Amino acid sequence: MTTTRGDGRLNHDLDPHEKGPQDECGVFGVWAPGEEVSKLAFYGLFALQHRGQESAGIATSDGKRISVYKDLGLVSQVFDEATLNTLTGHIAVGHCRYSTTGGNNWENAQPTLGATAGGTVALGHNGNLVNSAELYRMVQSRYGRQTRGEMAQGNTTDTALVTALLQGEEGSTLEQTATELLPLIRGAFSFVFMNEHTLYAARDPQGVRPLVLGRLERGWVVASEQSALATVGASFIREVAPGELIAIDEEGIRSTRFAEAKPAHCVFEYVYLARPDAAISGRSVYESRGAMGRALARENPVAADVVIPVPESGTPAAVGYAEESGIPFGQGFVKNSYVGRTFIQPSQTLRQLGIRLKLNVQPAVVAGKRVVVVDDSIVRGNTQRAVVRMLKEAGAAEVHVRISSPPIKWPCFYGIDFASRAELIANGAGVAEIAASIGADSLEYISAEGMIEATRQPRSTLCTACFTGDYPIPLPSEDERGKDLLEKPVAAPALTPDSTLDPEERPGAVGGDPGPGSSLEDLLTATDRTPL
């Protein structure tokens, strides 16, 4: 079957269900005896809601047992006062999800829960792993073909695989197991996890996704972004370093380096994903976006009367463009702040009427004027086509689209759900073709050099794969990657003399003799490893 490239045709005028670039998740963890940790986690997730709107969950521990509550929906839809009051304890892990491995269903909501050699683990994950098939074979090698825990309940995420492997061997602690397992995981991961007594945070050696550490008066917080720290009144201490495992318990905080840092931070966090009040690697996201707008104006000037943003992510770049160009800035759109994620699907009739759920134009700002409209990116082109049409219907004389990132030509395998390469409008289409497709009088993108310079980070420390196709973490073969990888059969381990045994009799199986050769490294070596 041949799939054609997306042509930017409008599906629906700024429908909140129209997918733009989406990050996988937000994670939050807190260790704070004497505090209402479930409510701290709730407000922390509330601050991270932009990172995932499909499901939310919180796990807490009182030192004896772990309780988890999770469901589909926004943080405010999943939790209420009564539910939070049942989640007691001094440790909490929270998660809000956008799916990039495994579908959007209750079984895949996080935190995941699993047994360990010494108790229980609850895990939240931001990112996406690239050796999930390999990890799946490791699970089978250790526990046999009989799945258990989250996987037995239908969880098809890479996070469930990590949770299963954290079970460890009899007599090992969760910290020992994690230190052994983390170097074998490849891809993007910012993990926040806990057992009954200790909070943990770990970041992949490339540091693709952000993860920060904060201090409360009576405890510690880890979160995807600094905005979550500020929301719960925690002071920023530092970022969790790439390749670092942090443990926090009654003895204090300790750090272990499980891998050498090889920074490849996601540049799209600066462009779009992170909140503007975040800072990544010491650089303000808001200032980066403003600098992108100024570079965009220098590189792509145009005679115009007003500069307007596509709110909210396009606003800092539009401000920068207006400052650099000298063209007045205007708020050409009014955004409906209460749309969010709705379960009410517009009918075809409503779609044909052009119902606009997110934005409306202010004709007084754009009518009769040459308008520069600034947005952060173009994925399929649907949103930009809608924006241009709305502006022209409101009387704009000309519409010039300016984009504060280069053309997105490659999919992301590290935690952003863009689209398949066939659906990316810039894949195979030139700038003039895209401009014609979205109906703009002109279209220009910032250069890769201008974007990177705005972040004030060395190019060698950034991942720009979605623009260049240069993936810093090697990818497996095509049949061993994809969102639905674990929802279809995955290649089983090669047959060994033990493979005909009952799972309980196999070396390393739960309830059996751990036996020689059952360490995680041995299991990884024994599986049918696909060259990466």
User: Would the annotation count 463 as a binding residue?
Assistant: yes
User: Would the annotation count 266 as a binding residue?
Assistant: yes
User: Would the annotation count 466 as a binding residue?
Assistant: yes
User: Would the annotation count 375 as a binding residue?
Assistant: yes
One-letter identity of residue 244:
E
From first CA to last CA, the distance across the chain in angstroms is 27
Tokens of 267: 């540049």
Which among 457, 301, 309, 387 has a CA at the least distance from the CA of 18?
387
Task: Please give the full DSSP string across 229-249, using - where no structure is assigned.
Answer: HHHTTPEEEEEPPTTEEEEEE
Rounded to whole angstroms, the Cα distance separating 402 from 427 reads: 18
User: Would the annotation count 235 as a binding residue?
Assistant: no
Q: Match 């003039």 to its residue by tokens.
A: 432
Q: Match 């490791």 to its residue by tokens.
A: 138
Rounded to whole angstroms, the Cα distance separating 498 from 512 reads: 13
Contacts of 449 (CB under 8 A, 6+ apart): none
Contacts of 113 (CB under 8 A, 6+ apart): 59, 66, 68, 120, 121, 122, 149, 150, 163
The verdict on whether 25 is a catalytic residue reads: yes
Task: Please give the full DSSP string across 158-218, using - where no structure is assigned.
Answer: HHHHHHHHTT--TT--HHHHHHHHGGG--EEEEEEEE-SS-EEEEE-TT--S--EEEEETT
User: Would the annotation count 513 as a binding residue?
Assistant: no
Rounded to whole angstroms, the Cα distance separating 112 from 252 reads: 25
Rounded to whole angstroms, the Cα distance separating 336 from 397 reads: 25
17-30 burial, b if ≥16 CB within 10 A, otherwise e? ebbbbbbbbbbbbb
CB atoms within 10 A of CB 344: 7
User: Would the annotation count 80 as a binding residue?
Assistant: no
Rounded to whole angstroms, the Cα distance separating 25 from 49 reads: 9
Contact call for residues 121 and 194 (beta carbons, < 8 A): yes
- The one catalytic residue in 10, 13, 21, 25 is 25
Active site residues: 25
Which residues line the annotated binding site for Mg(2+)? 313, 375-376
Which residues line the annotated binding site? 266, 313, 375-376, 412, 463, 466
Which residues line the annotated binding site for [4Fe-4S] cluster? 266, 412, 463, 466
